[in-house]
């Protein structure tokens, strides 16, 4: 059940260290969370180990077991440091259990790990752990611990605390002979089914007698015959700690399945066992037991979760419910009076409470409890409405209250603590200085007083989570899917010494105390480092001496790296602290120092507000991690006045101008340049700077970039608007059109009539004349330009006769110079799938209409023997009609031909067998290549199969039969496969015993016998053999 899930462990007793960097920090490098307000530690669930955690917590809160284990010193158990020495006698299990208990008691972490303990038991294997439930685990733990303690003073630890004896007696009714059998036990198993509660189950087991009578008689050893007798059981010896397992899981023999008994089963907080004991003459105190632990199972018989309710016998935890009920409800009249008066300032009250504490810091939750005890009303009811949450109020007064790095503990700053005490009575009441700064669990004195000190309270320990509960919550575990599974009682006469109350250090060996103190010191150090890392911010300081101002923004004189100084500082420090740190870094600085927020923009560095208020925290003024701060005199940089603030932000605009068709790069028909303007620049100023007389400016709107409908003209009435008000931002494009370019603009709507970004060109080459007359021109076009328009423009640019328009077409030219299929003239550039800058050939011949197909074809698949020819056919033409046109153009006749597609290997591939189907139906596309192949295709349902004959071999190997000979040539058949389109092979193959006999046509449904009979045709082949 544990599997391989015990690998993760975080212990600051080991040599693990938290990384100092705050960025990209691995999760496991973070220190574990400190204990919560209960002051108790949970145990990590290592993967299905909830039952182990529940049992270990029960043993921990059994003080007599815990102290007996701690009493075994290194002289008996050895040390963990010696565990790897070959000759050392080290008892790993008790040592790891001691160490785990010390961590649970003293280490300031929310949850401890059981990895080392389970490995000491050898429980890292899935097979060893999968069948354990909590009752089995209890016995296995005790057995392993007993074995490990053999030969030490703790050899009888388990028996001394948990061992009891049950005696079973049978009394003969005739001779009164008593036959008895004694049984040892470490735990009792009691029935649940059909029983109302624990007392009834014990009564049935140890009070009720079973009788042997009628057909069920007992053979008496003294009488030597079958007699009537009575059988009973009694508790002969009671252990100090009684463990009771409830038989919740049963088997239904009718349904043949396990089930969990969820009926109501009560158990008392205190129980008198006198009625169940053999000896009853002792005082009542010898028989009284008190419940202190309940292990609870939630779920069904095939799986679930364990947690435990534990009574804090030594009062180690801080028991405080979220809603205090007993004695804390205020009188209504008092509340009305409080509401009618102005709420008093809580500052003096909190200072008074903290000044009376000996410890430097106490938990914030405990401070709230002490406020409740002192004022008779909680913080939430008296102060929250006006001052907010208590923790927030403390954080807002950092000059008075000092919070721990994690914010869970608080104390008075030393100056305020001394002043308050002197003001209160003139007496110095400060506690003596501590030897170190370790928190509660590292001090030699007992920990702080708990919020509630009267009586023992109950806690719910659920793996890592610990929370207080009320005693009456135990009643919720009487029945249901979440119900009690194991009960732990202790003798009522077992009293705890006063020095153990509230003292987790009690009876812990000195070496473990030192280890835990060192671990807590390391924990605090790591938390402080991580707190500093999480609160530290990196600031980029830009020094004015390394910058110059031009083109509307600040630019470094040197490289960016040489102009910036990085500074890491705690965000809780003040602006004055930052200023002092900068002064110390820049020892040569003279004159006033002004710190301004800066921001790198596309145009350069721009300055915003001046940082002011040296008493404010960096977090309070909005300085975030990675912020840029400019250090200057607040007036000028390099002798140039610098305008700051959002109203003077520089904006980089892309300024576009239409170019001539033979200018610009491929696929781009405009020139582009970047200009910087202040966002407060008016459009009139922008027009004067960019547009010539009579020119206009257009901006690109919010739609798809480059679409004409998103280009808008700035009108005369817009000239008073600013760059920012009209929505121009960094990277926005403006188009400058001269007077002769304005044919692109629809003046009425103010929009472009073309997709401006797609205004580009296509290359057209003349293939209508002789080769030396070939000439190339560029034609301006958009993706919506119709191909017929491009052809007419090309004819004019090439100075050809316009009559050629009816006898020519445009054909794309591939990269290797091949003329591709003509483009239909009613297609647009987009529909023709042409890229801007593509090369087209102006060729003689009509372009196919959109309903026609331009196809390539060849006769046979050998391109060297048959040239590639071209043809235009209707897409609705049938395969037979297309074949006839191709035969006519190639000068062939007859009906012994068929069409095939050209495959990717440039060989004849799939046959177009459906001769009556149209080319469109068979997905024949413009530009496809077809192969005219000799041979008639078989009728539908027939196959053409090549036949090869195996000649008898004259050099047959010794011992080789005919089948072996056939098997020996099968590998050769791959080289002899003949496709339907291929020419007949040579009749014989040199070096092979095979001869080609031709093809036969046979129905696809014919049998192999039919194929054999049709193949056996007597004719003569080589060497005069008969086949």
Catalytic residues: 50, 305
- Give CA separation, 695 vs 64, 592, 745, in Å: 98, 49, 12
Question: What distances in angstroms separate CA 674 from CA 273, 678, 918, one per listed residue?
Answer: 96, 14, 57
Residue 771, CA distances (Å) to 246, 328, 404, 853 in order: 105, 108, 90, 28
- Spatial contact of 309 and 460, defined as CB atoms under 8 Å apart: yes
- Give the CA dihedral 789, 791, 793, 797, nearest 10 degrees: 180
Coil, strand, or helix at residue 690?
A: helix
Listed in sequence order, the residues at least 6 apart from 144 whose beta carbon sits closer than 8 Å to its beta carbon are 93, 121
Strand partners, 765: 776, 841
Q: What is the DSSP letter of 574?
A: B
The distance of Cα 845 from the centroid of its chain, to the nearest Å, equals 64
Contact partners, residue 117, CB within 8 Å, separation at least 6: 56, 93, 96, 97, 100
Contact 610, 594 (CB under 8 A): yes
Cβ–Cβ under 8 Å, residues 861 and 979: no
Give the DSSP letter string of 340-360. Answer: HSPPPPTHHHHHHHHHT-SSS
What token pair was written down for 562? 């040489």
- Nearest partner of 803 among 751, 844, 742, 862, judged by Cα: 844
* Long-range contacts of 71-74, Cβ-Cβ distance < 8 Å, separation of 24 or more: 71/153, 71/154, 71/507, 72/98, 72/149, 72/152, 72/153, 72/154, 73/509, 74/511
Report CA dihedral (872, 876, 878, 879) to the nearest 10 degrees: 50
- What does 754-821 look like in DSSP terms, one character per residue? S-GGG-EEEEEEE-SS-GGG--EEEEEE-TT-BHHHHHHHHHHHTT--GGGGGGEEEEEB-TTS-B-P
With beta carbons less than 8 A apart as the criterion, state whether 5 and 48 touch. Answer: yes
Q: Are 992 and 951 in contact (CB under 8 A)?
A: no
Q: How far apart are the first and last CA of the chain?
A: 75
Give the residue among 390, 392, 319, 401 at the shortest CA–CA distance from 352. 401
Q: If you write DSSP's letter for every residue of 894-931 in order, what string do you get?
A: SS-EEEEEE-TTSSEEEE---TTSBTTTTT--TT-EEE
d(CA 120, CA 643): 72
Three-state SS at 178: strand
Taking the C-alpha atoms of residue 436 and residue 517, their distance in angstroms, rounded to an integer, is 10
For the record, the structure tokens of 361 come out as 């810091």
Joined together, the tokens standing for residue 97 give 């259990």
Rg from Cα positions in the chain: 49
**What residue has token string 């009671």?**
238
Per-position DSSP letters for 576-588, written without gaps between them: HHHHHHHHHH-TT
Nearest by Cα to 820 from 925, 932, 918, 668: 925
Q: What is the three-class DSSP state of 139?
A: helix
HSE on the CB side for 675, CA within 13 Å?
Answer: 19
Please tell me the distance from the alpha carbon of residue 51 to that of residue 244, in angstroms, as a whole number. Answer: 16
């Amino acid at each position: 059940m544990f599997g391989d899930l015990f690998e993760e462990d975080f212990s600051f007793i080991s040599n693990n260290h938290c990384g100092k960097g705050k960025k990209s920090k691995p999760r496991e490098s973070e220190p574990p969370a400190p204990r919560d307000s209960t002051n108790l530690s949970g145990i990590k669930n290592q993967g299905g180990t909830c039952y182990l955690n529940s049992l270990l917590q029960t043993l921990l809160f059994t003080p007599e077991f815990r102290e007996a284990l701690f009493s075994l010193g290194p002289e008996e158990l050895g040390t963990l440091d010696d565990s790897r020495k070959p000759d050392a006698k080290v008892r790993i299990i008790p040592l790891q259990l001691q160490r785990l208990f010390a961590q649970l008691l003293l280490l300031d972490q929310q949850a401890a790990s059981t990895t080392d303990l389970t490995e000491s038991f050898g429980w890292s294997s899935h097979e060893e752990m999968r069948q354990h439930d909590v009752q089995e685990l209890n016995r296995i733990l005790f057995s392993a611990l007993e074995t490990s303690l053999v030969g030490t003073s703790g050899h009888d630890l388990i028996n001394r605390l948990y061992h009891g004896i049950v005696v079973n007696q049978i009394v003969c009714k005739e001779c009164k002979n008593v036959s008895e059998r004694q049984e040892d036990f470490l735990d009792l198993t009691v029935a649940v089914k059909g029983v109302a509660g624990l007392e009834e189950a014990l009564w049935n087991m140890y009070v009720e007698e079973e009788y042997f009578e009628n057909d069920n008689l007992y053979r008496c050893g003294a009488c030597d015959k079958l007699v009537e007798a009575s059988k009973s059981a009694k508790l002969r010896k009671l252990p100090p700690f009684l463990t009771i397992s409830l038989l919740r899981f049963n088997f239904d023999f009718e349904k043949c399945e396990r089930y969990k008994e969820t009926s109501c089963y009560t158990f008392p907080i205190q129980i008198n066992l006198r009625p169940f004991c053999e000896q009853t003459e002792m005082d009542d105190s010898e028989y009284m037991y008190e419940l202190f632990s309940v292990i609870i199972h939630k779920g069904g018989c095939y799986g679930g979760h364990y947690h435990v309710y534990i009574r804090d016998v030594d009062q180690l935890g801080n028991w405080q419910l979220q809603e205090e009920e007993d004695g804390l409800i205020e009188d209504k009249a008092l509340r009305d009076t409080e509401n009618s008066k102005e709420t008093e300032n809580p500052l003096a009250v909190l200072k008074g409470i903290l000044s009376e504490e000996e410890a430097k810091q106490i938990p914030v939750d405990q401070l709230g409890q002490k406020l409740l005890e002192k004022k008779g009303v909680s913080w939430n009811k008296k102060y929250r409405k006006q001052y907010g949450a208590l923790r927030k109020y403390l954080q807002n007064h950092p000059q008075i209250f000092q919070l721990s790095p994690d914010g869970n503990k608080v104390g008075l700053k030393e100056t305020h603590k001394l002043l308050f005490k002197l003001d209160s009575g003139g007496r110095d009441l400060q506690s003596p200085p501590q030897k170190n700064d370790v928190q509660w669990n590292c001090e030699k004195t007992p920990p702080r007083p708990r919020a509630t000190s009267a009586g023992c309270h109950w806690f719910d320990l659920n793996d890592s989570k610990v929370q207080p509960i009320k005693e009456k919550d135990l009643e919720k575990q009487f029945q249901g899917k979440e119900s009690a599974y194991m009960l732990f009682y202790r003798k009522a006469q077992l009293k705890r010494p006063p020095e153990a109350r509230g003292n987790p250090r009690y009876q812990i060996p000195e070496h473990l105390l030192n280890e835990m103190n060192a671990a807590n010191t390391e924990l605090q150090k790591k938390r402080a480092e991580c707190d500093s890392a999480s609160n530290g911010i990196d600031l980029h300081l830009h020094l004015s001496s390394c910058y110059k101002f031009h083109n509307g923004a600040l630019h470094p004189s040197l490289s960016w790296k040489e102009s910036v100084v990085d500074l890491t500082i705690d965000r809780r420090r003040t602006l004055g602290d930052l200023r002092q740190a900068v002064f110390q870094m820049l020892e040569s600085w003279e004159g006033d120092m002004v710190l301004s927020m800066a921001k790198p923009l596309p145009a350069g560095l721009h300055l915003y507000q001046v940082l002011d208020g040296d008493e404010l925290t960096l977090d309070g003024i909005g300085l975030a991690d990675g912020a840029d701060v400019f250090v200057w005199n607040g007036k000028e940089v390099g002798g140039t006045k610098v305008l700051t603030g959002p109203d003077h932000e520089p904006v980089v605009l892309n300024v576009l101008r239409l170019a001539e068709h033979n200018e610009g790069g491929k696929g781009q028909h405009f020139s582009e340049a970047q200009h910087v303007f202040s966002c407060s620049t008016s459009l009139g100023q922008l027009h004067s700077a960019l547009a010539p007389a009579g020119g206009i400016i257009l901006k690109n709107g919010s739609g798809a970039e480059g679409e004409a409908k998103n280009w808008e003209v700035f009108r005369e009435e817009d000239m008073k608007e600013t760059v920012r008000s009209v929505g121009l931002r960094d990277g926005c494009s403006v188009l400058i059109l001269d007077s002769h370019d304005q044919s692109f603009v629809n003046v009425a709507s103010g929009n472009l009539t073309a997709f401006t970004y797609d205004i580009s060109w296509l290359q057209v080459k003349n293939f209508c004349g002789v080769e030396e007359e070939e000439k190339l021109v560029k034609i301006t076009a958009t993706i919506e330009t119709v191909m017929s328009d491009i052809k007419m423009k090309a004819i004019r640019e090439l100075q050809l006769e316009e009559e050629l328009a009816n006898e020519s077409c445009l054909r794309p030219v591939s990269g290797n110079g091949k003329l591709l299929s003509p483009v239909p003239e009613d297609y647009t550039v987009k529909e023709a799938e042409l890229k801007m800058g593509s090369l087209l050939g102006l060729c003689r011949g009509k372009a196919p209409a959109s309903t026609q197909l331009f196809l390539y074809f060849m006769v046979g698949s050998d391109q060297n023997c048959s040239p590639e020819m071209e043809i235009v056919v209707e897409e609705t033409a049938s395969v037979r009609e297309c074949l006839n046109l191709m035969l006519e153009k190639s000068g062939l006749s007859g009906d012994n031909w068929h069409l095939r597609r050209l495959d990717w290997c440039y060989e004849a591939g799939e046959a177009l067998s459906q001769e009556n189907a149209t080319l469109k139906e068979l997905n024949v596309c413009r530009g496809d290549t077809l192969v005219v192949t000799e041979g008639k295709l078989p009728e539908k349902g027939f196959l053409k199969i090549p036949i090869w004959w195996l000649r008898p071999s004259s050099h047959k190997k010794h011992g080789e039969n005919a089948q072996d000979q056939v098997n020996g040539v099968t590998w050769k058949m791959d080289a002899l496969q003949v496709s339907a389109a291929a020419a007949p092979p040579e009749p014989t193959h040199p070096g092979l015993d095979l001869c080609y006999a031709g093809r036969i046509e046979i129905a696809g449904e014919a049998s192999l016998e039919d194929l054999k009979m049709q193949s056996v045709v007597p004719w003569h082949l080589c060497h005069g053999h008969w086949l």
